[in-house]
Amino acid sequence: MEPIRISKYFTDCGVMSRRSADAAVEAGEVKVNGVVAILGQKITPGVDTVTWKGKKIVPATDQQKICVMLNKPRGYLTTLSDDKGRHTVAELVADAGVRLYPIGRLDMDSDGLLLLTNDGQLANKLAHPSHEIEKIYLAYVDGNPSTEQLTNMTRPIEIDGRMTSPAQVRKAASGGEIAVLEVTIHDGRNRQVRRLCEREGLVVRKLTRVAVGSLELGHLEEGKWRRLTQKEIRKLKGGV
């Protein structure tokens, strides 16, 4: 195989852009065969060993399939890039060593549990609407919603020309100016929980996804990620 620039190798492996790769090289984070790389250096894929921050970088075809759980902060787009220069979840998992793709969506103004993977088969299986994986959210709303409002929130709503499945809603906490509603949905359609609240005149101050299927967010720090264990992945697949 012909030698190529390190920056191109990084993009071919789906790890980062050429510009980001050049920046990593300049920062001394990249090594070739154990020696710190220099800007513009060329390597031969399959012959030279390239590492970034101590992690071996391999072609996409040789990558181990992984799935991670991210505690997404508000203000980050669930996408890999944005032409307006806004923050994306790709930035938060850039140190995973492989290019990861979000499973499903979590809107920019929401936070909480987001799954990302480089396993296309797993992503398609989990994201397909026919599997109806439960997703649990905590919605922090103004006031103290009535029983009637909570009941109405369980009813289907039309999004993009199709009706959603019924939701499950209960009041997790109330008192003072804010109430916390636990909302369980199966579809995960565009801004579904927010639309259910808005239909009942409820103002959402914060929306956090705390569970997907058998997985719970737990105490994972905001902006951080962790790899799922094989046991967790098997259990998640078992719920599909």
Report the alpha-carbon distance of residue 230 to residue 238 in Å, rounded: 12
Mapping DSSP to helix (H, G, I), strand (E, B) and coil, where does residue 40 land?
Answer: coil
- Per-residue pLDDT at 15 exceeds 80: no
Asked if 111 contacts 193 with a C-beta cutoff of 8 angstroms, the reply is no
The pLDDT value recorded for residue 18 is 80
Question: Averaged over 231-240, what is the pLDDT?
Answer: 81
19-75 pLDDT, tens digit per residue, is 888 999 999 999 999 999 999 999 988 889 999 999 888 876 656 788 999 999 999
* Residue 189, CA distances (Å) to 120, 156, 194, 195, 202 in order: 20, 12, 10, 10, 19
Lowest pLDDT segment from 125-134, 195-204, 229-238: 125-134
pTM of this prediction?
Answer: 0.74
Helices and strands counted in the chain (H then E): 7, 17
The pLDDT value recorded for residue 130 is 66
Whether 22 sits among the annotated catalytic residues: the reply is no
151-171 pLDDT, tens digit per residue, is 999 999 999 899 999 999 999
Lowest pLDDT segment from 16-20, 51-55, 133-137: 16-20
The pLDDT value recorded for residue 14 is 67
Asked if 43 contacts 90 with a C-beta cutoff of 8 angstroms, the reply is no
176-198 pLDDT, tens digit per residue, is 899 999 999 988 788 999 999 99
Burial 145-178 (b: 16+ CB within 10 A, else e): beeebbeebeeebeeeeeebeebebebeeeeeee
196-227 pLDDT, tens digit per residue, is 999 999 999 999 999 999 999 999 999 999 99
Which of the following is catalytic: 12, 48, 82, 107?
A: 107
The pLDDT value recorded for residue 175 is 83
